[in-house]
Amino acid sequence: ARKKPVKKRNNNNHKKLGENIAKKLVKALNPP
């Protein structure tokens, strides 16, 4: 029972990381 919330939290953190990387990629690809 303890493993489930931890896994869920890790997935949320991973999703946040992916969103941050995507934003950085968009900034890098888009000309100023």
Over residues 1-32, the pLDDT tens digits come to 567 666 666 677 778 888 888 888 888 887 77
12 vs 3: CA distance, rounded Å: 14
Query: Looking at residue 25, what is its pLDDT?
Result: 86
31 vs 26: CA distance, rounded Å: 9
Per DSSP, the three-state class of 2 is: coil
Phi/psi for 30 (5° steps) reads -75, 130
Query: Looking at residue 16, what is its pLDDT?
Result: 85
Query: Looking at residue 18, what is its pLDDT?
Result: 83
Query: Looking at residue 14, what is its pLDDT?
Result: 75
Phi/psi for 4 (5° steps) reads -60, -55
